[in-house]
Amino acid sequence: EDQVTQSPEALRLQEGESSSLNCSYTVSGLRGLFWYRQDPGKGPEFLFTLYSAGEEKEKERLKATLTKKESFLHITAPKPEDSATYLCAVQAQSSGTYKYIFGTGTRLKVLA
């Protein structure tokens, strides 16, 4: 069964304390892996798409990497405004179509 697992479920960091969020997946026919940020009461905001193992993408303090079994979202010197839930999704082929499967997210709190 296709599955996406994110860890940790919640993470508290001091401002400036770098860390990584993990997204491990078990899917057949992987087309891409996606990272989103979701603020309370809002829809997910697109961050990155990764397609192949070894690929890396960066945006400001965030860097996403991909291996054959997992992806990491590295947060360097985070600020309080980085506090949000970070969602990982994989797009997998299923019955002739492509479906997003989401993890349950990592709730990040950055303290000033």
Q: Which residues bind another protein (CB under 8 A)?
A: 4, 31-32, 34, 36, 41-46, 49, 87, 89, 91, 94-95, 97-105
DSSP-derived secondary structure letter, 81: G
| Nearer of residues 79 and 107 to another protein, judged by Cβ | 107
The number of helices, as runs of H, and strands, as runs of E, in the chain is 0, 11
| Nearer of residues 4 and 13 to another protein, judged by Cβ | 4
| Nearer of residues 22 and 76 to another protein, judged by Cβ | 22
Number of residues that this document lists for the chain: 112
